[in-house]
Amino acid sequence: MNTITAIMGKDHQQCDQLFAASEAALDQSEDFGPLKDFIHHMKQHFSAEEDVLFPAFEELTGMRDRGPSAMMRLEHEQMRGLMSEMESCTDAEQASNLGETLMILMQQHNLKEENMLYPMLDQHFQLDQFKESLISLLGPWDAAT
């Protein structure tokens, strides 16, 4: 667990797990609680990227308004829109249907980060540079895993 790709990839898995729990709770008991946990963690994950990792990438490459991080920011906005729609649903089934669209966006987005953006970051930065900020947003990780 000493690369950005490993840590952030692991956090994608965490988001996937929270999403699955949220969908299950909506489907089985119309419980919106796990959806709130999922959205909270997604927002923390987006902050880790938008406030910590992307600025480093943009500084390095000079690509701010165009380029991969700009596209990722745009996709975050789309996902934020869907999440706030889900949050404002009163009907669990409606929220769950929106969740399916969100899941597709999320999978495509995460693959792009894992296959392209994070490896580019790893080529130029050490995880240590970002460790404290990432831990404060995402929580601690197990160095041994």
Query: What are the residues binding Fe ion (CB under 5 A)?
Result: 49, 72, 113
Nearer to Fe ion (CB atom), residue 68 or residue 98: 68
Closest approach of Cβ 7 to Fe ion, in Å? Answer: 11
Nearer to Fe ion (CB atom), residue 47 or residue 94: 47
Q: What is residue 102's DSSP assignment?
A: H
Which value, to the nearest 10 degrees, does the dihedral of the CA atoms of residues 93, 99, 104, 106 take?
Answer: -170
Nearer to Fe ion (CB atom), residue 94 or residue 109: 109
Closest approach of Cβ 38 to Fe ion, in Å? Answer: 14
Question: Any residues with CB less than 8 A from the CB of 50 and at least 6 apart, and which?
Answer: 73, 76
Closest CA to 127 of 53, 34, 54: 53
Closest approach of Cβ 71 to Fe ion, in Å? Answer: 10
Closest approach of Cβ 109 to Fe ion, in Å? Answer: 6
CA dist 86 and 38 (Å) reads: 11
Nearer to Fe ion (CB atom), residue 45 or residue 92: 45
